[in-house]
Amino acid sequence: MKYLFGFIYIALGLLCYTGRAAGQEAGALVPEPRTKLEAFEAKTGIVIIKGYSRIGTAAGLEGGLIEIETREFRDAAGAKEFGIAVEVREAGTPENRRTAFIDYDEIDSLLRALDYLGKVDSSATSQNRFEAEYRTEGDLSVSAFSTRGGTVTLAVSSGQFRRATSLFRLEDLKVIKGLIIEAKNQLDAIRQK
């Protein structure tokens, strides 16, 4: 009889734990908006008009890729938000792709960070190896790091829960920065109209 009560106690405990874990997991699938673009896109009860323009792509190592687009969100009431989207496609697993939104007012900060990352080297620390990382509000991460052979490699990642990462040669930073500058210039022209 005491084994029966023990079994029932364990079964009820597992049932309660499984229900709680499933509820937590479902709630975790919808993160809070972290950028103005994400918050705008999440609006309900109003018509939202989304404009996109593809700027271009940068090919990473081993088939990784990033694609950059401009974004213009408007609602029927006249409110507007502008920015860029960076989609990161992971090498070897093309279905693993994540998109990060970067608000217009964050683009200049990202460009300054890319300048710094392009110049960082082992003199930044007294340790044998280093990593320097910049992260945007929308979970785009760009980092420069030293490998065991002393080469500096660039990693671009996107995603809050599951990340997609593409690796680049440090020289590829010029292409990535050029695409972001082109996107900003297009947004500047749109905003001046």
Q: Is the residue at 138 inside a domain?
A: yes
Sheet arrangement for strand 140-146: 131-135, 140-146, 152-158, 164-169
Please write the tens of the pLDDT for every residue from 33-59. 999 999 999 999 999 999 999 999 999
Q: Is the dihedral of CA 148, 161, 92, 156 positive or negative?
A: negative
Domain with 92, as residue range(s), is 36-192
Q: Is the residue at 51 inside a domain?
A: yes
CA contacts within 13 A on the Cβ side of 148: 0
Strands (E), the chain: 48-59, 65-75, 80-89, 97-103, 131-135, 140-146, 152-158, 164-169
pTM attached to this predicted model: 0.81
**127: CATH:** 3.30.2450
Q: Which of 137, 76, 74 is nearest to 101 (CA)?
A: 137
What is the phi/psi pair of residue 16, to 5°? -65, -40
- pLDDT (0 to 100) of residue 10: 58
Per-residue pLDDT tens listing for the chain (193 residues): 555 545 455 555 555 554 444 444 445 566 789 999 999 999 999 999 999 999 999 999 989 999 999 999 999 888 999 999 999 999 888 788 999 999 999 999 999 999 999 999 888 888 888 999 999 999 999 999 998 878 899 999 998 878 999 999 999 999 999 999 999 999 999 999 8
- pLDDT (0 to 100) of residue 180: 98
Q: Is the residue at 2 inside a domain?
A: no
Please write the tens of the pLDDT for every residue from 112-136. 999 999 999 888 888 888 999 999 9
Q: Is the residue at 64 inside a domain?
A: yes
Q: Is the residue at 13 inside a domain?
A: no
Total structural domains within the chain? 1
Instruction: Give me the percent of the chain exceeding a pLDDT of 90.
Output: 65
Q: Is the residue at 48 inside a domain?
A: yes
Strands (E), 90-186: 97-103, 131-135, 140-146, 152-158, 164-169
Q: Is the residue at 5 inside a domain?
A: no
Query: CA dist 8 to 16, 130, 134, 193, Å?
Result: 12, 54, 52, 70
